[in-house]
Amino acid sequence: MAEAASSATTGKALVAGGALVAVGGSVVLVCVTARAALDGKQTPLDIADTFYGTHFGDIQGWIQGCYAPKNTAPAGSPALASEPNSAAGPHTTPGTTPVHGRDKGTRRLGRIYVTYTKFNRTVSRSYSGRTSMVIDLEKDLEAQADLAVASRDLNHHVQQDEKTEPKGPGYLPAVRDEFDVGAAIDYATRYSDVAYWRIRGREQQLIDFHGGAQSDGRTPSRTENVQRGVAKDNPLGRLFHDAATKRWGQLAPYTGD
């Protein structure tokens, strides 16, 4: 019953996401979807279709009421990468374009997404966050994940949707949690990386695992996170959560609306 309820909730979230794109209710999602489509890349809805086996990205199918088979793509649309099984390795990124950028033909580039925690011994509370960095895919991924966290701890590589690191003498150095790899060298295209979806979900689960953000209204505060990693009303919140759970298991239950 719990699994059925979860599936129903996820289905509602997907329907809501599709409706938002249809009516223009989510500016970010609409802009990212349009940009990705114009660039010939997978859109956020394409990723959701691959992840859940739905058809939100098949606009022609919506209109005609007849969807293309799952092993085919609508005419003129980019082919979707299939979800590999676990044998593909723990840090591959299904649902993203397999062609990564190259720097003058010498480096194979991608983007690493990482979650981390840092403990404040003065108040005995943890702060959880995430970061990302362009990396060389031919080099050690764990070492580059650690480098991304260390740089973030110094407030380097702060991306446009990330929060400034909390400061204070009580904070210990940040400790890496999980990481995943995608192809979004340009951070503006991050929504095309399933790895980004997973790390967003993981960040919120980390916050909830340690006691929830202060904005959730719990008294006394249990974490140093003033705000949630994923807003309660974020239309992609459930997708972020499910993507993280599918990769690493559920660390904390879903707390969005």
Over the chain (257 residues), the average pLDDT of each successive run of 10 is: 49 43 42 50 58 51 45 38 35 43 75 97 95 96 96 83 85 96 96 97 98 91 94 97 98 95
State residue 123's pLDDT score. 93
Distances from the Cα of 158 to the Cα of 52, 145, 148, 187, angstroms = 31, 15, 10, 11
DSSP assignment, residue 69?
Answer: P
Considering the entire predicted model, what is its pTM?
0.65
Cα 252 from Cα 34, distance rounded (Å): 33
Q: Collapse the DSSP code of 4 into the 3-class scheme (helix H, G, I; strand E, B; otherwise coil) and give the result.
A: helix
Residue 241: burial class (beta carbons within 10 Å; 0-12, 13-18, 19+)? buried
Cα 171 from Cα 176, distance rounded (Å): 15
State residue 48's pLDDT score. 59
DSSP assignment, residue 41?
Answer: S
State residue 121's pLDDT score. 95
State residue 54's pLDDT score. 54
State residue 40's pLDDT score. 53
